[in-house]
């Protein structure tokens, strides 16, 4: 089906997901950095519905939405480590938690930076901390006492949740808050260190300082 390309943007947590998955499976691909302020014809043609990154181009066939792309990669290339669990129940639970971090956790995390006052910030912070406690428990349940949500290796939930760790660090610095706490979420602290230092992750995880500068512009309050 021809060459493999990923259209992404460096600051997007969604766009690093397919890159991690492809590297895990030792699949070569071309990465195309997209300018989201002046979207390319290639992006608009490849994803005319949402007009967003990431897009996986497998030959002339585009696949959109990061979690859908992860599932496609896992089904298309069966060699290498599996991303989704083989057991149907475990696979369903993994999909549940991946949806949770996208639908609930990340909006609350962004809410800390978007907050216009201390009350709104405190509410968003409370939601994030409650979410992290749930994800701490899920690490034990999904990982079956392994070191990742995928057990002994990086899996679907690891990629889904782990793609936000650069933003977690940026929010901690900008919001002057502690999110990953050794006392309250020790499992997540260790997991985050292992995930970010993994060979498939470390070269695509955005630098915290660079994200902070990006976020200052993105969430700047009007004067």
Residue 222 has pLDDT above 90, yes or no: no
Same domain, 96 and 173: yes
Q: From 17, 48, 76, give the residue that closes a domain.
A: 76
Domain count, the chain: 2
Residue 203 lies in a domain: yes
Find all residues with CB under 8 Å of 188, minimum gap 6, and list them: 132, 135, 136, 139, 180
Query: What CATH code is carried by the domain that includes residue 156?
Result: 1.20.1050.10
CA 198 – CA 104 distance, rounded (Å): 26
The tens digit of pLDDT for each residue in 189-213 reads: 999 999 999 999 999 999 999 999 9
User: What pLDDT, in 10s, does the model give residues 28-83?
Assistant: 999 999 999 999 999 999 999 999 999 999 999 999 999 999 999 999 999 899 99
Distances (CA, A) of 154 to 80, 143, 194, 218: 12, 10, 10, 31
**Which residue range is the domain that position 46 belongs to?**
4-76
For the domain that residue 63 is a member of, what is the CATH number?
3.40.30.10
């Amino acid at each position: 089906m021809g060459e493999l390309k990923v259209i992404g943007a460096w600051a997007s947590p969604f766009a690093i997901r397919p890159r991690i998955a492809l590297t895990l499976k030792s699949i070569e691909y071309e990465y195309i950095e997209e300018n989201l302020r002046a979207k390319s014809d290639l992006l608009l043609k490849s994803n005319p519905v949402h007009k967003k990154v990431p897009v996986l181009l497998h030959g002339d066939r585009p696949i959109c939405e990061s979690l859908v792309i992860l599932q496609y990669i896992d089904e298309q290339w069966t060699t290498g480590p599996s991303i989704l669990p083989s057991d149907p129940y475990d696979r369903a639970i993994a999909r549940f938690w991946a949806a949770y971090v996208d639908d609930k956790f990340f909006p609350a995390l962004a809410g800390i930076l978007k907050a216009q006052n201390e009350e709104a910030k405190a509410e968003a912070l409370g939601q994030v901390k409650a979410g992290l406690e749930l994800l701490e428990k899920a690490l034990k349940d999904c990982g079956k006492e392994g070191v990742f949500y995928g057990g002994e290796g990086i899996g679907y939930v690891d990629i889904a949740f782990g793609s936000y760790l650069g933003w977690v660090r940026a929010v901690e610095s900008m919001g002057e808050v502690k999110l990953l706490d050794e006392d309250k979420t020790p499992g997540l602290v260790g997991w985050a260190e292992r995930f970010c230092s993994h060979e498939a992750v470390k070269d695509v995880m955005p630098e915290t300082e660079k994200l902070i500068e990006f976020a200052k512009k993105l969430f700047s309050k009007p004067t």
